[in-house]
A and B are shown apart, each in its own frame.
Chain A
Amino acid sequence: KQEVTQIPAALSVPEGENLVLNCSFTDSAIYNLQWFRQDPGKGLTSLLLIQSSQREQTSGRLNASLDKSSGRSTLYIAASQPGDSATYLCAVDNNDMRFGAGTRLTVKP
């Protein structure tokens, strides 16, 4: 059974810092990996989707990488802003979607 782990569980940084969130998974036979953002009391918003054949995807200040062989993905956030404060979840898809527990990010003004 696929297990997804996210480190750190929580992160607090001052505004403007660049930061990296980590996601690891145990079964490398995945179709894709997806990063989501969840605001308190809200649903999940898809940020980036990386297909298994891809190494990275970029959207604005966000960059996600995928190393399937080592079972790792990172989400890089450049020049963090208070509006980036949320919980970030990664999910891996190998016939179903399994989520990590998330990283709760706080960006302080």
Chain B
Amino acid sequence: DAGVIQSPRHEVTEMGQEVTLRCKPISGHNSLFWYRQTMMRGLELLIYFNNNVPIDDSGMPEDRFSAKMPNASFSTLKIQPSEPRDSAVYFCASSPTAREAFFGQGTRLTVV
């Protein structure tokens, strides 16, 4: 298995634009997590899914952020409209029933 795959690896966008981050979890994993990492706040859990259903989205900072998991092999995190303070590295992780988490390489987002 190729592991958790995130795309794009880097994204530079202008303030106000819509940004979509993508994640392909490891096949067979039933939990998926989205995290944001900044120097100031470290790793913050944004939302997690279990069997494609959002379980806890209390970490999503604002209504500008939304996440979907239409099927077991794909998830998106969307920011609309984007703002400079959204600049961070966004990680996706997946976990099997045994709950060991495996992380993707992250998407480095820069909003100018």
* Chain A interfacial positions (CB closer than 8 Å to B): 31-32, 34, 36, 42-46, 49, 89, 91, 93, 95-102
Contact among A44, A46, A95, A101 with B91 in the assembled complex (CB-CB below 8 Å): A44
Looking at the complex, which one of A34, A96, A102 makes contact with B48 (CB distance below 8 Å)? A96
Contact mask for chain B residues 27-64; partner A; CB cutoff 8 A; 1 contact, 0 none: 00000010100000011010010000001100000000
Residues from chain B with a CB closer than 8 A to the CB of A97 are 33, 45, 48, 93, 95, 101
14 A–B contacts from the bound complex (CB under 8 Å): A31-B99, A32-B100, A34-B100, A34-B101, A42-B105, A43-B103, A43-B104, A43-B105, A45-B103, A96-B33, A96-B56, A97-B48, A99-B43, A100-B42
Interface majority SS (helix, strand, loop, mixed), chain A: strand
Check A91 against B101 for contact (C-beta < 8 Å). Answer: yes
- Residues of A contacting B65 in the complex (Cβ-Cβ under 8 angstroms): none
Give the docked Cα–Cα distance between A32 and B101 (Å). Answer: 11
Which secondary structure characterizes the binding site on chain B? strand
Residues on A with C-beta less than 8 A from B55 are: 95-96
Chain B residues in contact with chain A, CB under 8 A?
Answer: 33, 35, 42-43, 45, 48, 55-56, 91, 93, 95, 99-106
A36-B104 Cα distance, complex, nearest whole Å? 13
Known pairs A34-B101, A44-B93 / 7 extra A-B pairs, C-beta < 8 Å: A34-B100, A95-B55, A96-B45, A96-B55, A97-B93, A101-B42, A102-B42
Which of A44, A49, A91, A101 has the largest number of chain B CB atoms within 10 A?
Answer: A44
B48, B95, B100, B103: the one contacting A44 at CB < 8 Å is B103
- Tell whether A49 pairs with B103 under 8 Å between CB atoms, given A96-B55, A97-B33: no
What residues of B have a CB within 8 angstroms of the CB of A98 in the complex?
45
- A93's contact among B35, B42, B99, by CB below 8 Å, is which? B99
Chain B residues, Cβ within 8 Å of A36: 103
Measured CA separation A3–B89 after assembly (Å): 21
- Residues of the B chain whose Cβ atoms lie less than 8 Å from the Cβ of A95: 55-56
